[in-house]
């Protein structure tokens, strides 16, 4: 599929929203006016949300504005109680497509979502139509979204290796009793009967890891076979460079890259996070749709996150910023125009990153102390905005600016 992006959506900053489960009533005229400015909106609907025609009024409106829309799906887990997933529970139980310990209990990667893991590997039994879980789920998804004018699908939890931790210690399947098998997913005593051969396998098992990635590739292949026009985005916590994933997905979603304790930005370093961000752009088919998600909640850190993402060509979203929130001053489509510099792979100096655009520059100080950046182009000024920290006061910048720790700046030519 040749993907041609709307030129207006290639202007920077580029931002997106994740508005899953908000319901049709959510999309009021005020909200739609904000969403139309985005490059990407993950706007999953649910059964009962409305007729195809009603849903398409939203999707077509966004499409007409060049907004790429995606719909959420997940293969790794099934919710234990959600009525809309009852067919998933029935099919996986009937066909042996659930991940279990060698002693039979269900296993799961998290105890936070009321869900247990599936077993999508090719060692499981096929159903009457020769399908295993990836093919079955692919068909089910295509049926559910048939007729909807979606741009694509977002597959959540695309794990490149097994990562089970909990097991179901309650009475019977789908119990909400989660018991950890160890301190973390890296303990070698974790027991999952992935290959259904009665052998306990931990999360380091190479054969299982490869079969896991092959299962995701099989799901993507099934989806593409059914609808070649769907763009497939994977929410990976790798850069997608494993053999089975390399250029498999149209784009990646890097959730929690910034603003979390576990994301590379804080857990390793901003430079490692940027190298990860760059790596992700080399292992997909359409890197301009890569979505870099932050989770910070202060004006300064949100500004810094946006500026950090502006060092590359991806789309930025923040899980704390919904279309009804007061958005940062910098979240204005086309504010900076088009890039003058290529994507940046190293800081300009010290902890400061800079990238020039046709209408201004973006600066990000990723360090823990304030930095003075001098030698800036002439005729730049701050945005005149309403950020809570008063940073965007419209002041003229005469060749240099001092950026507080962990802060960013979008400066515009005047």
Partner 1 sequence: MAKTLSVIEVTTDQLASLPWQGNGVMVVAVDHPDTPLCFWHAASGRYQSLIDGFQPGGTLPRHIMGSYTWYGRPNPYQNNGRFILITGIPVGGSSLWRSNGVAWIPAYGHQQVLGRLGPSESQATTAEHIIDKLVLPGDILQSWGTLRVEANWYGSNNANAKTIRVTLADPNLGTEHWALSTGGMVSTGHGLTLCITRTTGFHKYLRSMNGGTGGVGFATAGGGADPLDTSYDFEVRFKAVKAVATDSLQLAQATVYGVYGEQ
* Chain residues in the site for partner 1 (CB under 8 A): 1-5, 7, 10, 159-161, 188, 204, 206, 209-210, 213, 238-239, 241-247, 264, 268-269, 271-272, 275-276, 278-279, 281-288, 338, 342-343, 345-346
Partners of 254 in beta bridges: 292
Of the two residues 44 and 157, which places its CB atom closer to partner 1 in the complex?
Answer: 157
Of the two residues 86 and 338, which places its CB atom closer to partner 1 in the complex?
Answer: 338
Distance in angstroms (rounded) separating the CA atoms of residues 176 and 167: 10
Helix axes 270-281, 299-309, angle to 10 degrees: 40
Of the two residues 271 and 376, which places its CB atom closer to partner 1 in the complex?
Answer: 271
Q: 94: which 2 tokens?
A: 């009937």
Q: How far is the CB of 206 from partner 1 (least distance, A)?
A: 6
Q: How far is the CB of 355 from partner 1 (least distance, A)?
A: 13
Q: How far is the CB of 218 from partner 1 (least distance, A)?
A: 16
Distance in angstroms (rounded) separating the CA atoms of residues 288 and 49: 30
In the numeric block, the tokens 């945005």 are attached to 383
Instruction: Give CA 305 to chain center in angstroms.
Output: 15
Distance in angstroms (rounded) separating the CA atoms of residues 349 and 12: 23
Q: Strands, E, within 159-197: which ranges?
A: 166-168, 178-180
Q: How far is the CB of 196 from partner 1 (least distance, A)?
A: 22
Of the two residues 215 and 300, which places its CB atom closer to partner 1 in the complex?
Answer: 215
Q: How far is the CB of 348 from partner 1 (least distance, A)?
A: 15
Of the two residues 44 and 283, which places its CB atom closer to partner 1 in the complex?
Answer: 283
Sign of the alpha-carbon dihedral angle for 305, 306, 311, 315:
positive
Q: Cβ distance 297 to 320 under 8 Å?
A: yes
Distance in angstroms (rounded) separating the CA atoms of residues 339 and 350: 22
Residue 333 φ/ψ region, left for φ over 0, alpha for ψ in the -120 to 50 degree band, beta for the rest: beta
Q: How far is the CB of 384 from partner 1 (least distance, A)?
A: 29
Residue 334 φ/ψ region, left for φ over 0, alpha for ψ in the -120 to 50 degree band, beta for the rest: left
Instruction: Give CA 351 to chain center in angstroms.
Output: 26
Q: How far is the CB of 145 from partner 1 (least distance, A)?
A: 22
Q: How far is the CB of 280 from partner 1 (least distance, A)?
A: 9
Q: How far is the CB of 135 from partner 1 (least distance, A)?
A: 22
Helix (H) or strand (E) segment spanning residue 330: none
Of the two residues 159 and 331, which places its CB atom closer to partner 1 in the complex?
Answer: 159
Residue 394 φ/ψ region, left for φ over 0, alpha for ψ in the -120 to 50 degree band, beta for the rest: left
H-assigned helices in 116-194: 133-145
Q: How far is CA 208 from CA 120, 168, 187, 406, in A?
A: 10, 21, 16, 40
Of the two residues 193 and 203, which places its CB atom closer to partner 1 in the complex?
Answer: 203
Please give the torsion angle defined by the CA atoms of residues 158, 146, 82 and 62, in that order, rounded to the nearest 10 degrees: 80
Q: How far is the CB of 78 from partner 1 (least distance, A)?
A: 22
Of the two residues 55 and 288, which places its CB atom closer to partner 1 in the complex?
Answer: 288
Of the two residues 4 and 171, which places its CB atom closer to partner 1 in the complex?
Answer: 4
Of the two residues 105 and 313, which places its CB atom closer to partner 1 in the complex?
Answer: 313
């Amino acid at each position: 599929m040749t993907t041609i992006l709307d030129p207006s959506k290639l202007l920077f900053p580029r931002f997106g929203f994740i508005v899953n489960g908000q319901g049709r009533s959510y999309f009021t005229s005020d909200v739609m006016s904000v969403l139309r400015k985005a490059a990407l909106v993950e706007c999953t609907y649910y059964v009962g949300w409305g007729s195809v025609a009603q849903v398409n009024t939203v999707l077509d409106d966004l499409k007409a504005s060049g907004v790429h829309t995606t719909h959420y799906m997940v293969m790794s887990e099934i919710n234990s109680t959600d009525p809309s997933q009852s067919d998933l529970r029935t099919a996986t139980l009937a066909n042996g497509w659930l991940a279990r310990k060698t002693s039979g209990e269900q296993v799961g990667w998290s105890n936070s979502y009321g869900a247990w893991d599936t077993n999508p590997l090719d060692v499981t039994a096929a159903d009457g139509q020769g399908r295993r879980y990836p093919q079955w789920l692919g068909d089910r998804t295509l049926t559910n979204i048939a007729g909807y004018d979606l741009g694509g699908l977002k597959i959540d939890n695309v794990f490149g290796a097994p990562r089970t931790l909990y097991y179901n210690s309650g009475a019977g399947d789908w119990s909400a009793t989660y018991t950890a098998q160890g301190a973390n997913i890296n303990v070698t005593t974790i027991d999952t009967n992935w290959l259904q051969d009665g052998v306990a396998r931990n999360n380091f098992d190479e054969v299982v890891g490869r079969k896991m990635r092959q299962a995701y590739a099989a799901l993507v292949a099934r989806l593409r076979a059914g609808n070649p026009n769907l763009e497939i985005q994977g929410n990976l916590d790798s850069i997608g460079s494993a053999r089975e994933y390399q250029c498999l997905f149209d784009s990646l979603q890097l959730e929690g890259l910034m603003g979390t304790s576990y994301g590379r930005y804080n857990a390793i370093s901003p430079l490692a996070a940027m190298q990860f961000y760059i790596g992700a752009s080399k292992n997909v088919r359409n890197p301009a749709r890569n979505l870099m998600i932050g989770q910070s909640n202060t004006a300064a850190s949100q500004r810094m996150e946006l500026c950090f993402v502006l060092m590359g060509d991806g789309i930025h979203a923040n899980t704390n910023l919904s279309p009804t929130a007061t958005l940062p001053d910098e979240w204005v489509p086309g504010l900076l125009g088009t890039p003058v510099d290529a994507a940046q792979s190293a800081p300009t100096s010290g902890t400061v990153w800079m990238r020039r655009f046709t209408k201004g520059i973006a600066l990000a100080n990723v360090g823990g102390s304030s930095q003075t950046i001098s030698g800036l182009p002439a005729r730049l000024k701050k945005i005149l905005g309403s950020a809570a920290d008063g940073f965007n006061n419209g002041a003229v910048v005469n060749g240099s600016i001092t950026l507080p720790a962990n802060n960013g700046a979008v400066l515009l030519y005047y």
